[in-house]
Structure formats: C-alpha cells, structure tokens
Amino acid sequence: QKEVEQDPGPLSVPEGAIVSLNCTYSNSAFQYFMWYRQYSRKGPELLMYTYSSGNKEDGRFTAQVDKSSKYISLFIRDSQPSDSATYLCADSGASGGSYIPTFGRGTSLIVHP
C-alpha cells in the first residue's frame, strides 16, 4: 500500500512565524504533488501543486519536493491567524492505469495572534 505520511499536529505558532509542514511519500512513480488547505466544515481547497522536484512559490507559500528523499514540504511565511486550518498533502500519477491520488491525513495548524 503506497502511503503519504504526515504529522497530525496540532502545530501551534505565533502570528508572523515561518511555518514548515512536511510529508513523506512512498510511491516513487508519482510525479505530481499537491497541497490543500481545509477549514473546519469545508471542502479541501487547492493551495499549490508541483511537478517532479524543485520549488514553487506563490505569495507567502512555497512548495518544495525532494524526490531523492521522497519529502514534500510547504512553507508559509508571515503566518496569519487566517492560516489556521488543516493542511493536506497528496501525490498523484498513473498507477496501474488509474490516477488516484494518495492523501496524507493532514496537519492541523494553529496561528495565534
């Protein structure tokens, strides 16, 4: 069973801190990596996606993939209380003809004023 591992937290940080969220994955065939943010009682919202290795930046958010260590990271700069949510990582690609992503269980982030 291919899995994505994620520390459930909660991770509590003060406003303005740099947050590092991390996942490890096992399916080396997957090339596509995604981060979602989920507020309580809402559906997951796509934050960022990356293909293969490298970094991708969007405003305060940076996604990083290290395929050699099978490590996915999301960095949030200048964190805000509105960033308080659960963050889900996922990997995706073709496996046996199906394209079914594997999701981590999510890390709960609390940013306190």
Partner 1 sequence: GAGVSQSPSNKVTEKGKDVELRCDPISGHTALYWYRQSLGQGLEFLIYFQGNSAPDKSGLPSDRFSAERTGGSVSTLTIQRTQQEDSAVYLCASSSPPGYEQYFGPGTRLTVT
Q: Which residues bind partner 1 (CB under 8 A)?
A: 32, 34, 36, 41-46, 49, 88, 90, 92-94, 98-101, 103-106
Q: Which CB sits closer to partner 1, 15 or 45? A: 45
CA-nearest of 65, 63, 59 to 78 is: 59
CB nearer to partner 1: give 19 or 88: 88
Residues whose CB falls within 8 Å of the CB of residue 69, separated by 6 or more in sequence, listed in order: 24
Give the whole-angstrom CA distance, residue 74 versus residue 8. 14
Nearer to partner 1 (CB atom), residue 38 or residue 73: 38
